[in-house]
Chain A
């Protein structure tokens, strides 16, 4: 049960849908605009441990650890004819569901947990699907919601590079 009002829950959900849409439609500049300046994006490595209680994600190892400026560079290179992995662009589709919101700082900061399925397809290869749980920190700054932090828990211990190459 979310600890926030229906209105706020709806607002955050719409924010996340828009955010996913910007990624799917390759509008990277607009997507960056939804990020807080010291945004961090992390994808810890899943690990098979003895006890379920030990946690399924490593505390040190990460597939990705990116900042806003780092991501801006990543998008900057899309304008080049030499961005081999981005030409032609992949088809990417996010499915975002199971939103749970917890208030962290009244009226200002929330934790939004979602389940995502990301499909990526680049001809002539078959589409690749990856699912993950996301834990976001969302804050309101000057009336606007901004994404401050995203931690992605991918659901496979041995992912392939296509599964890792989209932003979740």
Chain B
């Protein structure tokens, strides 16, 4: 697949409300959007409230075990029917006139229905608006597009990598604690593009972290690769280059390592890896890292896996929802350490994260206007540069044997422009 090296998202798409409206209609309206994890709603009646593009949604589980995603908006006058972050219920009662909806979104009760509504009133067509739901490796996605290809087809070759990330341990992963959000400055695409495969910013943006000696294995000799697939999804994976290091997934308990039942290539994808991060287009970000070393507390540092969902608030701000995933079969002690390191390294209040968020706000501050701010961003990194090391695994997708390349960002830009119907 060839990509025009000069393709770029117009700067206006980082500052214009009009572009954002179109993104909601196409990028968010037509894609599978990540909502949450199955383990967040383990029992019948469990629910969480989330954002899906500009829409507030409820993700719930019913008696039959099915997971539903529906618009959190009463069909009478549009009132949000649930104001809570999470909980367990059999019904959602609207606070305005009292219509009652089931955990599957169906309209179950209307005050005064017999005397106040006539015979043509049909509650059957007044359930909460339901999205199509798809799950993969415990990840729950939803889409409003009834005719979109199914989830697995839209993930394409990314599915192989998600298996390596989320199904490595036989017991699978679960959310530790729950989710929380933080609002940050900058257009939502800046954050997504960073996770898609920006290895180039590390030694500059996070230079102080290397200088402080906290980068652990990532500071040594490493080989990195990026992988991308046609629907816009991509990842970057980095490995210890030192042959002397044992072939193991770094930062997990021994008992857990013994529970790995993945095939050989998936195992190789994870072994000796220092960090793997990436994104499922358009707005699910993931990162899993080997332990880093934070001062005197370094003893007992463990690996962690974090998910983020990115939601635009307006052209200049986005909301980040954070989750930390832990192997279901890890010890409680390990799980809380993993959460601790996830917070300290990549929580919104962490100083590692501060470097990124500061650069995101500086991008936002430097966008300029329609007269001066018109020069497109540059995505030429790695073009016509010889590929280097050989990856330790064989897998599908387009594997680029380079760490510092914008091949993934070019892939993302191409998918975005195609979906938005604009020329780069």
Interface residues of A (CB under 8 A from B): 43, 45, 47-50, 58, 60-67, 69-70, 72-74, 76-77, 80, 82-86, 124-125, 157-161, 164-165
Contacts and interface: CB of A to CB of B under 8 A. Distances in A.
Interface in B284-334: 294-297, 319
Contact of B343 (A65, A157, A159, A165): A65
B184 A48 contact: no
Interface stretch (B37-45, B216-224, B347-355): B347-355
A125 B209 CA distance: 26
B84 A49 contact: yes
A165 B349 contact: yes
B87 A58 contact: no
B67 to A, nearest CB: 21
Given A65-B340, A83-B208, A160-B184, A60 B178 contact: yes
B179 to A, nearest CB: 8
B355 A84 contact: yes
Contacts of B179: 61
B85 A161 contact: no
Interface of B: 83-87, 176-185, 204-205, 207-209, 211-212, 214, 294-297, 319, 339-340, 343-344, 347-351, 353-355, 357-359, 361-362, 365
Contacts, number: 115
Given A58-B177, A70-B295, A85-B355, A158 B348 contact: no
Nearest to B213: A73
A72 B353 CA distance: 17
Given A85-B351, A161-B182, A164-B182, A70 B208 contact: no
A63 B87 contact: no
B343 A63 contact: yes
A69 B204 contact: no
Nearest to B294: A70
A48 B83 contact: yes
B181 A63 contact: no
Contact of A77 (B185, B344, B349, B351): B351
B52 to A, nearest CB: 16
Contacts of A159: 182-183
- Which of A43, A45, A67, A69 has the most chain B CB atoms closer than 10 A to its own CB? A45
15 contacts: A48-B83, A48-B84, A58-B180, A62-B343, A63-B349, A69-B295, A73-B212, A80-B211, A84-B354, A85-B355, A85-B357, A159-B182, A160-B182, A161-B183, A161-B348
Contacts of A80: 207-208, 211
Contacts of B87: 49-50
Ranked nearest first, the 7 interchain pairs of A and B with the lowest CB-CB distance are A60-B177, A85-B358, A85-B354, A69-B295, A82-B207, A69-B296, A77-B208
B312 to A, nearest CB: 14
A82 B296 contact: no
Nearest to A67: B297
Contacts of B351: 74, 77, 85
Given A49-B85, A60-B176, A84 B349 contact: no
Contacts of A77: 208-209, 211-212, 351
Contact of B357 (A63, A82, A125, A161): A161
B304 to A, nearest CB: 13
Given A60-B339, A61-B177, A161 B294 contact: no
A82 to B, nearest CB: 4
A82 B295 CA distance: 19
Given A64-B349, A164-B348, 15 more contacts: A60-B177, A60-B339, A62-B339, A62-B343, A70-B294, A70-B344, A73-B294, A77-B212, A80-B211, A82-B208, A84-B358, A85-B351, A157-B85, A159-B183, A161-B184
Contacts of B344: 65-66, 70
Contacts of B358: 84-85
Given A50-B87, A73-B214, A63 B294 contact: no
